[in-house]
Structure 1
Amino acid sequence: MATTDRQATTLALAHALSAVERGLAVIPLSRTKLPAVRSPHRDAPGPAPCHGQCGRFGHGVYDASTDPARIRALFAAAPWATGYGIACGLPPYHLIGVDLDTKSGTDSSAALRELALRHLFTIPETVVVLTPSGGRHLWLTGPPDVVVPNSAGRLAPGIDIRGAGGYLVGPGSRTDHGAYATAPGTAHLPPAACPPALLRLLLPPPRTAHPAAPAAGGHGRGLVQFVLSAHEGQRNTRLFWAACRAYENGIGPALLTPLLEAALHTGLDEREARATIASAARMTGHRP
């Protein structure tokens, strides 16, 4: 069994490095499909808000990287890994995973076809990954300035969405229930752009702003710090998330300059940062 596990780990690492060559950020997964590297804060009292700022491995999808040396180090830290996860929402693809499940007792493929007919969109040819349970993962790409959230069954019963902060089990991974594999004829395809009509369905409706709060408060400082602590590959996503929360809490205009300065400090281009904040304003029902 130990030899089989070592072979599975070696194979998973090889597949993960192939994904990295395509520009996909990955993490090692265990047979349970959970991140294989254990949290360095697991014995700490109370919840640990650290998303990798401590510099150690074990922060789930926040460990995801396209650096081959870092991926080898991650797998070395988890020799029991038998698969890998592909982080969604990160450049260059800003991947969106459409998970068509079979365990819910519903025909999720038929539900997606019905949505496509009702909202006038077509799923383009793209990468399709077959799951051990008979389900399918469709790989789509989103705009760089739009953050698609994770959801389970919100689009339709049996359809889960993997967006920013989520991950897809990569083809070639082995789990307790079997192996994941690319559907024939799709391995060579690049992830296709998400149809605009489908993208609109994946985004949450605008929320009503809460009463204004002083920008100097702890919540405002926390949002600015959240942006400042972003690693490369997370900067746009974190800025968009923080700006959305600021506008939802009525402090968007007051936090505009601090958030912009924080984004510039992390290395984002000013034009890109302003566009991301403007997208957050529109998404939450405010004027940029």
Structure 2
Amino acid sequence: MATPHRQATTPALAHALSAAERGLAVIPLSRTKLPALRSPHREDPGGPAPCRGECGRPGHGVHDASTDPARIRELFTAAPWATGYGIACGLPPHHLIGIDLDTKPDGDSSTALRELALRHLFTIPPTVVVLTPSGGRHLWLTGPPDVAVPNSAGRLAPGIDVRGAGGYLVGPGSRTRHGAYAIAPGTAHLAPAPCPRALLRLLLPAPRTRRSTPSTDAAHGQGLVQFVRSAHQGQRNTRLFWAACRAYENGLGPTLTDALLDAALHTGLTEPEARATLTSAARMTGHRP
């Protein structure tokens, strides 16, 4: 994935050309991870013009991204100080989505992602993983061509940022003032994997919710309880956690706790196990157990 291009004048250009051969649109980055070329409109009277590259001059950030080797060489020639490259997200053919798992002193983003996966019943498939100098990871996924995933910081979970349409990922082989980005061992041969549908729903803006009524709440609550009661060995904790999360998200957590606990005991879970799972679900959804 990060194999340098043979006919290039700098390591950054070599890696950028290699990425472009795989259909990834790139731009030059400085050691600060920002676009290496400043806006050509920065000194225009009245402030920057609302231009996304229509003027033909470089310096429009991710809007300059290209897979054309000649254009890429032009960009790097205009920014000989570039030490890295950015990969534009959301563009065809890959419609790349980047899941940035940061390292935070107040929480483990990898654990948060695993809890989200358990809570929403999805798994991250084998895919390209890029290691960052700070010890974080970038997971590369692909999205549908007709869906624009927005950029976000911490909305999915603390320490997890999302790079979507209009955003970019620092490409492997790039060097910054904090160190180098590199492909994780064992993932260089992989292509970006499709984003799981359940995760994709979380990445998109929340749809407008309908108003609930006592009757619909009761039916929904009973459905969650039955979902737990019908669990087989090996899926009891998973189902209880998922149902409890749904209950708290819909404002039914406190009223359903006893019923969910009884349902979990019916499946064979011990009371300490069930209560620990209910507490974890409450905490995960931002409620006091």
- Return structure 1 stretches of 4+ with deviation > 3 angstroms: none
- 1:24 and 2:24 aligned: yes
- Partner residue in 1 for 2:15: 15
* CA displacement, residues 30-49 of structure 1 (integer Å, 9 cap, x when unaligned): 00000001110111232421
Write the distance in 1 (CA, Å) between the matches of 2:114 and 2:158: 13
- Partner residue in 2 for 1:41: 41
- Partner residue in 2 for 1:249: none
- 1:154 and 2:155 aligned: yes
Deviates more, 1:103-112 or 1:59-68: 103-112
Write the distance in 1 (CA, Å) between the matches of 2:21 and 2:40: 28
Determine if contact 1:98/1:160 at 8 Å carries over to the other structure.
yes
Write the distance in 1 (CA, Å) between the matches of 2:20 and 2:135: 26
SS at match of 1:137: strand
Determine if contact 1:28/1:74 at 8 Å carries over to the other structure.
yes
Write the distance in 2 (CA, Å) between the matches of 1:133 and 1:110: 17
Amino acid at match of 2:177: D
Give unpaired runs (5+ residues) of structure 2.
Answer: 1-7, 210-289
Determine if contact 1:51/1:62 at 8 Å carries over to the other structure.
yes
- Highest Rg: 1 or 2? 2
SS at match of 1:14: helix
SS at match of 1:109: helix
- Partner residue in 2 for 1:245: none
SS at match of 2:18: helix
Instruction: State TM-score, norm by structure 1.
Output: 0.68
Determine if contact 1:9/1:80 at 8 Å carries over to the other structure.
no
Determine if contact 2:101/2:137 at 8 Å carries over to the other structure.
yes
Query: For the aligned residues, what is the CA RMSD?
Result: 1.4
- Partner residue in 1 for 2:243: none
Indicate the percent of aligned positions where both proteins have the same amino acid. Answer: 87
Write the distance in 2 (CA, Å) between the matches of 1:150 and 1:48: 23
- 1:123 and 2:124 aligned: yes
Determine if contact 1:88/1:167 at 8 Å carries over to the other structure.
yes
- Partner residue in 1 for 2:88: 87
Write the distance in 1 (CA, Å) between the matches of 2:50 and 2:179: 33
The offset of 1:106, in angstroms, is 1.5
SS at match of 1:197: helix
Q: Output aligned runs, 1:181-200, within 5 Å.
A: 181-200=182-201
Write the distance in 2 (CA, Å) between the matches of 1:77 and 1:164: 25
Determine if contact 2:41/2:47 at 8 Å carries over to the other structure.
no
Deviates more, 1:70-79 or 1:98-107: 98-107
User: Do the aligned partners of residues 145 and 75 (structure 1) sit closer, same or farther apart at CA in structure 2, a change above 3 Å counting?
Assistant: same
* CA displacement, residues 245-276 of structure 1 (integer Å, 9 cap, x when unaligned): xxxxxxxxxxxxxxxxxxxxxxxxxxxxxxxx
The offset of 1:207, in angstroms, is 5.7
Write the distance in 2 (CA, Å) between the matches of 1:150 and 1:110: 21
The offset of 1:171, in angstroms, is 0.2
The offset of 1:206, in angstroms, is 3.1
Instruction: State TM-score, norm by structure 2.
Output: 0.68
Write the distance in 1 (CA, Å) between the matches of 2:118 and 2:192: 22
Write the distance in 2 (CA, Å) between the matches of 1:67 and 1:41: 24
The offset of 1:80, in angstroms, is 0.6
Write the distance in 2 (CA, Å) between the matches of 1:115 and 1:104: 19
